[in-house]
Amino acid sequence: MQENASIIDIIKQQIKKEDALPVLNPHAVKIQQEATSKQPDFTVLSGLIRMDPTLTSQVLKTANSPFYRGLDDVETIKDAVIRLGQDEMINVIMKVLLEQKFHSKNPLIHSYQKNLWNHSVNAAIGSQWLVRYLSMTDMIPRAFIAGLLHDMGKLYLLTALEKIMADKTLDFSPPPQLIDKILHNLHPSLGFNLLTRWYLPGPYRIVARDHHSPSFDTGNLMLCIVRLVNKVCNKMEQKKPPEDISRLASSKEADILGTSEICLAELEIALEDAGTRMPMA
């Protein structure tokens, strides 16, 4: 590291290193690629899941949770697919695979990871809810994943910051305000890079890159969905007053999607309700 390098320079140098990248193991990559393909083969996917004890246990745990529970216990992956449905099964798989990357041993980094994870899950649930509300049937299989992955550039940055903070040769203890600024300013482009390295389809990478961009493709309805839901999630997390719904309802994204104040108020209620009922991996 250069002695007079700025904090941003130090972070960029760390990001260039291979160990700054949150990696998926080869088996997880295979599962992810099958789950996000245009026509997932559930025979292949079930076989891959059964080879991963952690994923198998979490899928069965979810299928048997009060949120999804039927009259009988689910004991096999095949029965879990039947109970959850194929779309929901893929959402559970992606959620479990991703959550495994949010377990830093650094208390400060872990606190950021926890907040990021909660925001990502809320954005996923909200995006899925909104496409169903708007009867955008063709987007239902992709909305949850798009919302879940939109802020993964922040995970990339947190991984890099953890490595820098662990370097004994550096006196690097950034205050939370600086971390917040770094995460906000750098995460979109890094999110695109990370999802590219994870071999995720182009539409998810574009959402990660453009969900804050002042100039964006207004014809990309999935991007509009995630941008609007992200704003609603931020409002709720920052505990902004109810009248802010009016501002969101007059946003460019809401105008494109045709969402009203009533719709966004119902979205907030759905997110609050999901927070008490949605099973976590």
- Using CA atoms, how far apart are residues 234 and 268, in angstroms rounded to an integer? 11
* Predicted confidence band of residue 222 (pLDDT cuts 50, 70, 90): very high
Looking at residue 71, what is its pLDDT?
65
Looking at residue 278, what is its pLDDT?
47
For residue 279, pLDDT over 80 is answered with: no
- Residue ranges of the chain that CATH labels 1.10.3210.10: 101-281
- Using CA atoms, how far apart are residues 15 and 2, in angstroms rounded to an integer? 15
For residue 277, pLDDT over 70 is answered with: no
Per-residue pLDDT, averaged over 113-135, amounts to 95
244-254 pLDDT, tens digit per residue, is 888 999 999 99
What DSSP assignment string belongs to the chain? --TT--HHHHHHHHHTSGGGS----HHHHHHHHHHTSSS--HHHHHHHHHT-HHHHHHHHHHHTSTTT--SS---SHHHHHHHH-HHHHHHHHHHHHHHTT---SSHHHHHHHHHHHHHHHHHHHHHHHHHHHTT-GGGHHHHHHHHHHTTHHHHHHHHHHHHHHH-TT------HHHHHHHHHHHHHHHHHHHHHHTT--HHHHHHHHHSS-SS--TT-HHHHHHHHHHHHHHHHHTT--TTHHHHHHTSHHHHHHT--HHHHHHHHHHHHHHHHHPPP-
> The CATH number of 101-281 is which of 1.10.1740.10, 3.90.1260.10, 2.40.160.40, 1.10.3210.10?
1.10.3210.10
Per-residue pLDDT, averaged over 156-172, amounts to 84
